[in-house]
Amino acid sequence: MMRRWLITGLTLLMPLTACKKEPDFNERYEVLEGKLQEKAKAIDAQISRAQQAACAKEADPKACEQAAAEKSQKNQ
């Protein structure tokens, strides 16, 4: 009889131990915001490197100046 109560009690407590708090909206937002900012910085760096490489191949210095001006305006 005691064994039956013990098994019943443990069976009822098992779902409670399996539950854990899920992150709320603000916590999920903060995590995603950080990831998006990292991706945006990586994309900006990749574009900058591509522009610098294209600029190095160009014989026209005006193209390089224009790319640098666009970059500085974007950072402001």
The pLDDT value given to residue 1: 67
pLDDT-derived band at 23 (thresholds 50, 70, 90) equals confident
Q: Can you tell me the distance from the alpha carbon of 53 to that of 61, in angstroms, rounded to the nearest whole number?
A: 13
The pLDDT value given to residue 44: 92
pLDDT-derived band at 11 (thresholds 50, 70, 90) equals confident
Phi and psi, residue 65, nearest 5°: -65, -40
DSSP H helices in the chain: 2-18, 25-57, 61-75
Q: Which of 31, 50, 41 is nearest to 74 (CA)?
A: 41
The pLDDT value given to residue 27: 92
